Amino acid sequence: MEKQNLLMAALIYLIKFQSTHCVTARERALMMFEALAQLNESNQELDELCSQANALLAN
């Protein structure tokens, strides 16, 4: 359940950042994707998603 909550929060903040360019939303999305990447229960697809999202947000 924690993984799903983090993923939902990360995607919400990513969408908010994409639509508003709000710096706080960007920072929170980065934090959520980083937390997802640190989970022991992550898998290859989730790791790839986190990597791609971090690359998008880093620009």
Q: What is the pLDDT of residues 7-57, one digit of tens each?
A: 999 999 999 999 999 999 999 999 998 888 888 776 888 888 888 888 888
pLDDT at 40: 77
Residue 1 pLDDT exceeds 80:
no
Tell me the C-alpha distance between 47 and 23, whole Å.
24
Asked whether the beta carbons of 10 and 36 are under 8 A apart, the reply is yes
In sequence order, which ranges of 1-59 are alpha helices (DSSP H)? Answer: 2-20, 23-38, 44-58
Find tokens 């995607």 and name the residue: 11
Domain that residue 14 falls in? 2-58
pLDDT at 58: 83
Greatest extent of the chain over all pairs of C-alpha atoms, in Å: 32
pLDDT at 21: 93
Q: What total number of domains does the chain contain?
A: 1
